[in-house]
């Protein structure tokens, strides 16, 4: 039976219902966002704050989750593979404290060894001079010069003939903290060796332990040494290393200057001992002549060719014993440095008997010498001349 009351109730409910929206209809984003904002504003303040905080936390959570997913996803991780470095560490360059020449590390820690080498006519040609790092030349007695040859990186197999010590040679050797090879000496020199605590290697005391007499030369021009025996004896005596202030060194110039001193003459004492040097621009060295002849080293048969020649101007006089020489080797004085084809006047400095010999320029700054063999001649004033 048809129920009018129920039908009317159903009709009223249908009229109040909102029209159905198709499931596939999506409002525009702006409209959705505006509606959401309107809906949020109608909420109480506390609920509104909680909703905003919840949305923010949700965004952070989903962002972190997405990042974690990307990290864990091996397909998106960049794998560069094995990395090979092309960096090459620069080589360590060691230089001799004595000469400034490139050498190995062990040589830089080696003792400087000074050897007294004779220069009388009967002692020529000498052995080992071409290998010396620094050579001091001065008159010993009767106008006859003698050499103090200093060695560090080079170790020639034969050195000599060896002769006796003099005070100024002892002072120069001490300035390099050198172990000192000699065959006796003047009374003053022997006393100075003791008072300055020089590392003494005296053939007169050590006899054949430090040097031997050869059969192809006659005495006293026949005492020779080699570094095998020198090293052995110095080790037994506890000598090791040399502490000294090195002479400042420099490299050869890339562009050679126009030479102003190509020929150098030292009027030392007489025709048999006067020396001359000629400049070789190609090698930037000086060929040494003595008594008008090339000065040859017997061991290699080659002419001695230092990189630097120094005229050490010093006062000179005959000792009161009328035999030995005396030089003003302590203090300061003028020196002429010959290198790179030029002549430069500087000041030499040796304030005490034990101090190192150094050179300073016109403004008092250290003056640098070319790396390599340096030949230093102690000479009286006004006895050096040179020409371009």
Q: What is the pLDDT of residues 255-289, one digit of tens each?
A: 989 999 999 999 999 999 999 999 999 999 999 99
Choose among 225, 222, 221: nearest CA to 208: 225
Region label for 341, one of left (φ > 0), alpha (ψ between -120 and 50) or beta (otherwise): left
pLDDT of residue 37: 55
Average pLDDT, rounded, for the chain: 86
The helix (run of H) or strand (run of E) holding residue 249 is: strand 249-250
pLDDT of residue 325: 93
- Beta pairing class for 263-266 and 384-387: antiparallel
CATH architecture, range 95-387: 3-Layer(bba) Sandwich (3.50)
pLDDT of residue 88: 85
Region label for 98, one of left (φ > 0), alpha (ψ between -120 and 50) or beta (otherwise): alpha
Cα–Cα distances (Å) from 365 to 81, 198, 349, 360, in that order, read 56, 30, 12, 5
Q: In terms of pTM, does the model score above 0.85?
A: no
Is a pLDDT exceeding 50 seen at residue 10?
no
* CA dist., res. 11 & res. 15, Å (int): 6
Domain borders along the chain are: 95-387
More confident residue, 265 or 22: 265
Is a pLDDT exceeding 90 seen at residue 82?
no
* CA dist., res. 334 & res. 346, Å (int): 6
């Amino acid at each position: 039976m048809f129920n009018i009351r129920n039908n009317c109730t159903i009709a009223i409910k249908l009229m109040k219902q909102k029209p159905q929206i198709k499931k596939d209809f999506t409002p525009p984003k702006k409209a959705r966002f505006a509606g959401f904002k309107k809906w949020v504003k109608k909420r109480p303040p506390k609920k509104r704050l909680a909703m905003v905080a919840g949305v923010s936390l949700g965004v952070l959570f989903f962002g972190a989750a997405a990042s974690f997913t990307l990290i864990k996803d091996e397909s998106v991780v960049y794998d560069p593979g094995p990395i090979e470095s092309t960096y090459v560490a620069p080589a360590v360059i060691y230089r001799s404290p004595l000469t400034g020449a490139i050498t190995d590390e062990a040589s830089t820690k080696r003792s400087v060894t000074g050897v007294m080498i004779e220069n009388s006519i009967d002692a020529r040609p000498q052995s080992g001079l071409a290998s010396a790092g620094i050579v001091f030349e001065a008159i010993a007695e009767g106008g006859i010069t003698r050499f103090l040859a200093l060695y560090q990186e080079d170790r020639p197999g034969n050195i000599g003939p060896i002769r006796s010590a003099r005070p100024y040679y002892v002072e120069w050797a001490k300035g390099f903290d050198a172990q000192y090879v000699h065959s006796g000496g003047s009374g003053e020199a022997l006393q100075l060796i003791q008072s300055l605590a020089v590392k003494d290697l005296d053939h007169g005391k050590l006899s054949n332990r430090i040097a031997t007499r050869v059969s192809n030369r006659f005495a006293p021009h026949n005492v020779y040494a080699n570094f095998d025996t020198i090293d052995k004896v110095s080790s037994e005596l506890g000598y090791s290393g040399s502490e000294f202030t090195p002479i400042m060194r420099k490299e050869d110039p890339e562009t050679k200057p126009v030479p102003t001193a190509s020929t150098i003459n030292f009027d030392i004492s007489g025709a048999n001992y006067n020396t001359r040097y000629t400049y070789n621009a190609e090698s930037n060295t000086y060929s040494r002549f003595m008594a008008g002849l090339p000065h040859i080293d017997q061991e290699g048969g080659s002419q001695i060719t230092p990189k630097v020649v120094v005229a050490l101007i010093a006062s000179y006089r005959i000792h009161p014993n009328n035999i030995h020489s005396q030089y003003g080797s302590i203090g300061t004085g003028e020196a002429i440095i010959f290198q790179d084809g030029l002549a430069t006047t500087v000041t030499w400095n040796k304030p005490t008997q034990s101090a190192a010999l150094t050179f300073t320029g016109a403004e008092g700054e250290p003056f640098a010498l070319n790396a390599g063999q340096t030949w230093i001649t102690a000479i009286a004033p006004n006895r050096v001349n040179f020409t371009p």
